Amino acid sequence: MEQLKKEIQEQHQLINRIRQEIAKELVGQTDLVDGLLAGILSSGHILIEGVPGLAKTSAVKALASTIQARFKRIQFTPDLLPADLIGTEIYRPKTGDFVTRKGPLFNNIILADEINRAPSKVQSALLEAMQENQVTIGDTTYVLPKPFLVLATQNPIEQEGTYPLPEAQVDRFMLKIIIDYPDRSQELDILNKSGFSVKDPVEAVMDTARIEQMAGLVRQIYVDDKLKEYIVDLVLATRQPQKYGMKIAEYVQFGASPRATIFLAQAARVRAFLQGRAYVTPQDIKIAAPDVLRHRIILSFEAEAEDVTTDEIIKTVFDFVEVP
């Protein structure tokens, strides 16, 4: 444990340097930055929801620059095809054979911009990549590079020309991060950085090999058995709220899946790592839980009619599930 603490403290300095480099491009949005770091350190995909102009794309580009990762942005549109993501086999008449041309998914960080603008056949092409870290082109399966991370953005206010994401795909996102407008001082900083001063370029802090090393440390962070039970109780409470004394069953059509249990433990570990600790606390779980659970709780018609949100359901769960 002492050796683990020492190694985490050393790596924590690099994490702070990454934050400083991203701050050259991004003002505020600390939750978004921590969420992106959580994704890259645990190989968990991230769904980012926010209105246009909140620097979602800039944050992802800055993260890719700091870790020397291969980055590719894909603009999702209604006419996008699965081959535009994974690649295809091209016939060569001169030789009479096929050659494989790999698509943009063969990079470390994929920014799926406005992911809900592509139809379901394109979304299905992402399922194998997001779950198995591999894609199949023709009869051949190709392993994707490590780390592999899908960071998807979607606009919550514009529904024209969009398609709802399949529940099976939404469940594969480790976190769903909601970002909001900056406050007054942050907006003034944004203005000063845009045209009134020269931006310092974002510099690389580490390579992907160091990220894999950090991910190994995250997997060693200690989680007490009581906290494991607490994680399980939080997830079970979304499925069977009446067993925990909550009167919200009429608002929940489906609770969180077992992936939520796994991802909540991973997210809590990353949270501890980002704080420079070798152990998880109940507060780590509480902070990580909303981003892990909000897209996995399917609300009923009654909840939609009464404007009950998933975040309100999660808050109720925290109020009723006893903290160890």
Residue 228: predicted pLDDT: 94
Residue 286: predicted pLDDT: 92
Helix H, strand E, coil C: the string for 259-324 is HHHHHHHHHHHHHHHHCCCCECCHHHHHHHHHHHHCCCCEECHHHHHCCCCHHHHHHHHHHHCCCC
For residue 208, name the pLDDT band (cuts at 50, 70, 90). confident
Residue 232: predicted pLDDT: 94
Predicted TM-score (pTM) of this structure: 0.84
Single out the residue of 32, 44, 30 nearest to residue 270, CA to CA.
44
- Determine the Cα angle at 36 with ends 32 and 260, to 5°: 95
Mean pLDDT of the chain: 84
Top mean pLDDT of 99-113, 189-203, 255-269 is at: 255-269
Residue 160: predicted pLDDT: 57
Q: Using one digit for the tens of pLDDT, what is the confidence trace for 1-59? A: 777 888 888 888 888 888 888 887 777 777 888 888 888 888 889 998 877 777 777 78
For residue 202, name the pLDDT band (cuts at 50, 70, 90). confident
Residue 162: predicted pLDDT: 67
* Distance (Å, whole) CA 58 – CA 71: 12
Q: Is the per-residue pLDDT at 161 higher than 60?
A: no
Q: Is the per-residue pLDDT at 225 higher than 80?
A: yes
CATH dotted code for 222-320: 1.10.8.80
For residue 255, name the pLDDT band (cuts at 50, 70, 90). confident
Single out the residue of 202, 130, 129 nearest to residue 171, CA to CA.
130
Name which residue leads in pLDDT, 53 or 216.
Answer: 216
CATH 1.10.8.80 residue spans of the chain: 222-320
Mean pLDDT of 87-103: 82
CATH 3.40.50.300 residue spans of the chain: 2-78+107-215
Q: What would be the CATH architecture of the domain defined by 2-78+107-215?
A: 3-Layer(aba) Sandwich (3.40)
